[in-house]
Amino acid sequence: MTEQRTYGDRVGIVTVTYFAGDTLEKFLDTLEKATERDVHVVVADNASTDGAPERAAERENVTLVSIGENVGYGTAANRGAAALDDSYGWIVVVNPDLEWEPGALDALLEVAGRWPRGGAFGPLIHDLDGTVYPSARLLPSFGRGIGHAAFGKIWPGNPWTREYRQENAAPAERVSGWLSGSCQLLRREAFDSVGGFDPRYFMYFEDVDLGDRLAKAGWLNVYAPSAGVMHIGGHSTAQASAKMLRAHHASAYRYLADRHRGLRWKPVLAAVKLGLALRVKLETRRG
């Protein structure tokens, strides 16, 4: 029987970089005002050559984990988390193209103190123009998932997308199906109990999958809008949109196939795979 590990109360920040550019410096600068704690940052780099991770590592509280190849988001986050010793009982997995609001990390930790069964905590995320991003969502069932995938682009206000994205829900502290992987505070005990991110997801849906597995293990995904961050978004994937679209659809199919096994689901999954492939072709032609 494996002995359960005991963690301390320190906070570690894990950010995955892939040509993060200047956004990483701004991320680190704003982090200094997000908490009164001494936090340590692990930059898990997927073979960038822009020099940004190396510049960040010149800071006293930053450690660089150079992976040497692009292993994807979840795998890199797992490796970054593994670089933290057992004194770190809290891990923030966060994109580098994000800016913290003053006190945001302390606000997340305050919410965590109210939810002893909380495994993951997500802040309110807004875009550059102030628009609130729907970062706390329901899990994508077949109906919601297919409706959102089929009509999300051409009919943004469709009922499946609105239900899935929880767009009618006020930004209040609540339990959610899953939380955006762009910024999550994770209780390390919970994160380890499910084995971290599933490395089979190269990009996208690794956060959906994690939220689902945390819930099945008895943990809660808690939306904490009292903490706020701004996500610039898309910096590392801007020049690889077609590749990222294919990765998104492959991950969507994997998520559904993992949860709908057996002969009766095979025809449905085959139709889903075909539909996703057609959507990739249409989107890439349009792009």
How do residues 85-140 score in pLDDT, each as one tens digit?
999 999 999 999 999 999 999 999 999 999 999 999 999 999 999 999 889 988 98
Catalogue the E-assigned strands of 139-242.
174-176, 178-179, 183-187, 220-231
Which of the residues in the chain have pLDDT under 50?
1-2, 235-240
* Alpha-carbon distances, residue 106 vs 61, 66, 88, 155, 185 (angstroms): 18, 29, 15, 38, 11
DSSP letter, residue 59: S
Determine contact, residues 145/164, Cβ cutoff 8 Å: yes
Domain ranges, ordered by start, for the chain: 11-231, 242-284
Per-residue pLDDT tens digits for 190-210:
999 999 999 999 988 999 999
Token pair for residue 192? 């380890």
Token pair for residue 111? 């919410």
Q: What local confidence, expressed as pLDDT, does residue 250 receive?
A: 85
Closest CA relative to residue 26, chosen from 116, 128, 172: 128
Q: What local confidence, expressed as pLDDT, does residue 237 receive?
A: 45
Q: What local confidence, expressed as pLDDT, does residue 184 receive?
A: 98
Q: What local confidence, expressed as pLDDT, does residue 179 receive?
A: 98
Q: Report strand pairing: 88-94 vs 10-17.
A: parallel
Q: What local confidence, expressed as pLDDT, does residue 254 receive?
A: 87
Maximal C-alpha separation, the chain: 56
Q: What local confidence, expressed as pLDDT, does residue 158 receive?
A: 58
Closest CA relative to residue 286, chosen from 222, 223, 234, 242: 242
Q: What local confidence, expressed as pLDDT, does residue 244 receive?
A: 75
Any idea how long the chain is? 287
Distance CA 232, CA 277 (A): 29
Buried b (16+ CB within 10 A) or exposed e, 18-47: bbbbebbebbbebbeebbeeebbbbbbbbe
Distance CA 209, CA 194 (A): 11
Amino acid in position 231: H
Read off φ and ψ for residue 47, nearest 5 degrees.
65, 45
Distance CA 30, CA 182 (A): 16
Superfamily for domain range 11-231: Spore Coat Polysaccharide Biosynthesis Protein SpsA; Chain A (3.90.550.10)
* Alpha-carbon distances, residue 279 vs 153, 245, 248, 276 (angstroms): 11, 9, 11, 5
